[in-house]
Amino acid sequence: MNEQQKITIVQNIMNANDGLAEQNRQNLLSARLFSINIMASPGAGKTTLIEKTLHAFTPSHRVLVVDGDIATTYDADRAAAAGAKAIQINTGGDCHLDAMMVSRALSQTTLSEYDLLIVENVGNLVCPANFELGTYKNVLVASVPEGDDKPHKYPGMYRGVDVVVLNKIDLLPYVDFDSEFFSKGLQVLNPNVEIIPLSCRTNEGLEKWFGWLNKEMDIFKKETS
């Protein structure tokens, strides 16, 4: 006999990922490892910013870099060359990292041996926003040549992040980029977010980024001690 029945569920589709992200967050907290997830479009300058950050921080900090890429190991190689312990995740075609991939990568090492974890997400301005990883802070790298309308076109991506780095400001004289229109788009969904304009080419503004990192690491240390 076939009995028909409707079952009401009302369950968030991302529950499974969110649960794993929470586990990652707890693991990182108990290892007292400060962590950031860097998201951006392809070519915005994630790896270059990570290299600059490593040059500034590896003399005094033990840094772990987890690099998400669809197929290659170039970015992990660049991080290793710049002085970090680097773990590559090949997503095998996936356009984003998820909490499970990060969890597997982190289990390959001893978290308490590091002071800073940098996760480089796959270059993509849509998908990573839906997949929390469990990092303490989320960073978005925008870049001048992408255009000032990106926060208006990809609001989902800009809304959950803690800080926005605007990279490649050395190109401002050559591109039509209305900084005010860009900031306004950000403010709509993320009213208090900080914007750090910088150039990885000229190093202008990098000090401010290092300052942000140092400040957040201090807050994290206090919270976990």
Ligand X SMILES: Nc1nc2c(ncn2[C@@H]2O[C@H](COP(=O)(O)OP(=O)(O)OP(=O)(O)O)[C@@H](O)[C@H]2O)c(=O)[nH]1
Q: State the residues that interact with ligand X by CB under 6 A.
A: 40, 42-48, 75, 123, 167-168, 170-171, 199-201
Cβ nearer to ligand X, comparing 40 with 106: 40
Residue 35's contacts (CB-CB under 8 Å, 6 or more residues apart) are 28, 116, 117, 118, 119, 134, 135, 136, 137
Q: Which is nearer to other proteins, 7 or 71 (CB)?
A: 7
- Distance (Å, whole) CA 201 – CA 51: 12
Distance from the Cα of residue 223 to its chain's centroid: 21
Amino acid at residue number 139: V
Q: Is 12 in the site for other proteins (CB under 8 A)?
A: yes
16 alpha-carbon distance from chain centroid: 20
Which residue do the tokens 């800073």 mark?
A: 116
Select 57 or 158, whichever has its Cβ closest to other proteins.
158
Q: Which of 51, 75, 98, 162 binds other proteins (CB under 8 A)?
A: 98
Q: Does 47 bind Mg ion (CB under 5 A)?
A: yes
Residue 146, Ramachandran bin (φ over 0: left; ψ between -120 and 50: alpha; else beta): alpha
* Nearest-approach distance from CB 53 to ligand X, in angstroms: 12
The distance of closest approach from Cβ of residue 67 to ligand X in the complex, given in angstroms and rounded to an integer, is 8
47 vs 53, beta carbon nearer Mg ion:
47
Sorted by sequence, the CB contacts under 8 Å of residue 188 that are 6+ apart come out as 151, 155
Q: Which of the 8 DSSP states describes residue 107?
A: T
Collapsing DSSP states into helix, strand and coil, what is residue 189? Answer: helix
Nearest residue to Mg ion on Cβ basis: 47
- For Mg ion, the closer of residues 18 and 77 by Cβ is 77
Residues in contact with other proteins, shown as a per-residue x/- string from 178 to 217 under the rule CB under 8 A: ---x--xx-xxx-x--------------------------
Supply the DSSP string of 110-122, one letter for each residue: -GGG-SEEEEE--
Q: Which residues here bind other proteins, judged by CB under 8 A? A: 2-17, 94-96, 98, 126-127, 129-131, 149, 151-153, 155-156, 181, 184-185, 187-189, 191
